[in-house]
Each structure stands twice: as C-alpha cells, then as structure tokens.
Homo-oligomer: A and B are copies of this chain.
Amino acid sequence: MLIKSKIKYIQSLGQKKLRDEENAFIAEGPKIVKELLEAKNTGVAEVYALPGWIAENKKFLSQTDVVEITEMELERISQLTTPNKVLAIVKKFDVNENIATRGKVTLVLDTIQDPGNFGSIIRTADWFGVDQIVCSKDCADMYNPKVVQSTMGSIARVKIIYTDLKEWLTAQKDIRIYATVLDGQNISTAKKIQEGIIIIGNESKGISDELLKFANIKITIPKKGKAESLNAVVAVGVVAVAVFVVCAGGGVVVMNR
C-alpha cells in the first residue's frame, strides 16, 4: 500500500524544481521503464507496478525496489490520462558535459519548448543514429514527464546537455554547421555527411540571429504547398534523411553502422 507522503512525493516529481532537488524523474509504461532498467548511465530507484507486470518482469527487477500497487493507486500517482501498468522513479542521467563532435552528427536545439516536440525529436534522433543533442538553456526540461513519455524510451540512449549555445558553437572549429532556414540551398543538393552539426530552431521564431551566424551551410526543406512552416520534429527527420542518411544526390546509404 502507498502512504500519503509517498503519493505526494511521486506527484511532486511532475515539477522541475522538485526533480532538480531530488535528482530524479518519473517514467511510465512498460516500454520506457524496461529501457531505463537496461540503461547503463542511470539507475531506477523504485518501481511501482501492478501485480501482473511484476510477475512478467521479475528477471529485470533483482536490483530494484519494487512496490506492488493497485490500479487505483497507480491512477493517483500517474501523470498519464491512461496509466499504464508501471511507474518508475529514476535517477537523473550521469552525463559528461563534454560533447565530442568529431566523426559524429550532433543536433543543436535552439529553444524547443513544447515537451511533446522535444521528446519526439529525441526519438527521431535516436532512430537516425544521432546520439547527442546540445540544447539551449531555454529548451524544455528533458525530465519533464511529457518529454520522457514522447521519447518512447530513446531518452535512455541519447546524450543530452544544456548549455549556452553561443559559447558552445564558438568553440566548434573546422566542422560543417547546418542551419535550416527558409531561403537556403535545397536539402537535396546538400552533400551526405558523417560529421557535422545541425541546428534546429524554435518553430515560430526559427533560429535566432546570433546562432544563425555560426552556420556555414544554410539548407531549406523544399515546399510545394502552402503551409507556412513545418513541425520541428518533421524538420529533424527530413534533414536527417537528406544530409545524413539517405539522399544527398543519390549517395550510398549507411545503415546499421
């Protein structure tokens, strides 16, 4: 059974301030919790789950505190509209703030504030093998429950740091820096890369002028219709495909490297 103070504690992790104080966040649902149980750079502190889920997942739980709860209790602690079997309290990732950009594709996010968008970007990056993201300090909190949920588990695999982007980009030398803009070169003409930095801007404001200066290649996703803008998540996917994974003038496809 869950005591009242525990319920309050779990609910409080919905707030950034409390997550920062406790150095912990919550993750929900079988898929995400399992990926976090398997991740190396974190630790699942406590698992609250329905009896059925516990029975099915015993082998993953030997090193974790597990509390069996009822559906009604899960509803009280869950942040989801439809609670999903299990909720875990997870230690924040142990992240080395150094990001090495050599030989890698790095995503830079300028002010992505919508948690759902941010989470989906992390998931999309993970799909395309982009395993590090550098965020401006005003991006959404990666430990926000909605972000964690939208990553569908990819949060356990993509390294994410928050920093002053101007300073960070100033320190990057001799590397291609791509920016998505409305009047750049068509992405289909961009060369395929194994190394580079891709800046994605805030949806309504785009990339801020002070960051745009750092871009040495400005690219544009061709538009045939009339929508004024593309969702930032779609932009990440399209750019990843065009400059990084597949197209680029019919370049060779690098898969499963």
Interface of A toward B, CB cutoff 8 Å: 31, 116, 120, 123-131, 152-154, 157, 186-188, 221-231, 233-238, 241-242, 245-250, 253-257
Contacts and interface: CB of A to CB of B under 8 A. Distances in A.
Contact of A188 (B233, B246, B256): B246
B253 A250 contact: no
The list of the 3 closest CB pairs from A to B, nearest first, reads A247-B247, A129-B224, A188-B246
Chain A contact surface mostly: loop
Given A130-B225, A241-B247, A242-B241, A123 B230 contact: yes
A92 B236 CA distance: 33
Given A188-B247, A231-B124, A246-B188, A255 B152 contact: no
19 contacts: A124-B234, A126-B225, A126-B226, A127-B225, A127-B227, A152-B229, A157-B225, A187-B246, A222-B246, A222-B253, A222-B255, A224-B257, A234-B234, A241-B242, A241-B247, A242-B246, A246-B247, A247-B250, A249-B250
Contacts of A231: 120, 123-124, 233, 237
Contact of A225 (B131, B187, B228, B249): B131
Contacts of A241: 187, 221-222, 238, 241-242, 247
A152 B224 CA distance: 17
A157 B223 CA distance: 15
Contact of A237 (B127, B225, B226, B230): B230
Contacts of A130: 225
Contacts of A127: 221, 223-225, 227, 229-230
A133 to B, nearest CB: 12
A106 to B, nearest CB: 14
A124 B230 contact: yes
Given A154-B227, A188-B245, 11 more contacts: A120-B233, A127-B221, A127-B223, A127-B224, A127-B230, A128-B223, A130-B225, A186-B255, A221-B241, A222-B241, A234-B236
